[in-house]
Structure 1
Amino acid sequence: MSMAVVGMIAGMALAFAGYFGGFGAFLLVAALGAVGFIVGRFLDGDLEPGEFFRSRGRDDGRPR
């Protein structure tokens, strides 16, 4: 399935949630969709847990 089709399905799900459930349901569907996307990336092997916790190149954040 192409990414365009996946995006269309996600957009339709958000639209239905927003229309029938209100803004709270829209936010809930969007948040759960983001969590599902991240979990899917982990399961596919495209994302490693350590990528969220790596330092940005500085040891303690102070200039030398």
Structure 2
Amino acid sequence: MSNAQTGLIAGLLLTIAIVLGGWSALLLAIVVGGAFTALGAHRDGTIDLGALLRGRNNG
């Protein structure tokens, strides 16, 4: 299992643990699951989150 898959599962499980039920829980699950998937993909080397943090004006 890749880091992205592990991150997705962890994010979804944490979301279920925090909020149970309702539309807000669904939206929170999507946001948190996406964030953890992005972090896992970053650890796999698939995407570079550092590029988002550096911005456009580097000098």
Higher relative contact order (CA 8 A, sep 6+): 2
TM-score, length-scaled by structure 2: 0.50
TM-score, length-scaled by structure 1: 0.47
Asked which structure has the greater CA Rg, the reply is 1
